[in-house]
Amino acid sequence: MIKLQGENLYLAVLERNDCKKLYEDFEYDFDNPVEPLYIGQSVEKSDEWFDEIQKLQGKENIRLGIFLNDGTVIGDVALQSIDEKNRSCSVGMGMAKIETRNKGYGKEALKLILDYGFNNFGMERITANTLEINISAQKSLEKSGFILEGRERKAVYFGGKRYDRLNYGLLIEYYMEGKENG
């Protein structure tokens, strides 16, 4: 069983009840929208999500829960679309409640999963996407060393408007350099 310990939180395997709790607690932040837009799904959908996690775990994805040190699950983070041949993947993260966002938990969880991806899982390139209007996600990625590599113009339709999807990338050599200097 994997457990990645940080200062204020840890990452660990999600159990079925954790997935249910994340579904129960989820609050959509319309000011900082994320993809995909799973709005209006019932808690029962959490069972399907858990089953999907188990099916893909260790093959295509490594998805872990974000837990406060007291054991409260507050979100999830994943290395996704793992391409072992090219040693690359993407990273995605979500926090269930708005009140747990912008408190540094995401940055700490991202650091833990990036360390694991680069140092233990052999990745050499990790990518991330966010919408142009999600400024907090952009700042978090940039503080973690990600570089804006591209823009998919008008790629996402949300709330009656079209938005650009921003593509970020982080290479292992830049990540390691940032750790040495920071």
What span, in angstroms and rounded, lies between the C-alpha atoms of 156 and 177? 34
Q: What's the pLDDT at 59?
A: 86
Q: Is a pLDDT exceeding 90 seen at residue 88?
A: yes
pTM (two decimals):
0.91
| pLDDT tens digit sequence for 11-22 | 999 999 999 999
In one letter, which amino acid is 65?
G
Q: Residue 4, exposed/middle/buried by CB under 10 A (0-12, 13-18, 19+)?
A: middle
| pLDDT tens digit sequence for 134-165 | 888 899 899 999 999 999 999 998 878 999 99
Q: What's the pLDDT at 137?
A: 87
- For residues 123 and 130, the answer to whether their CB atoms sit within 8 Å is no
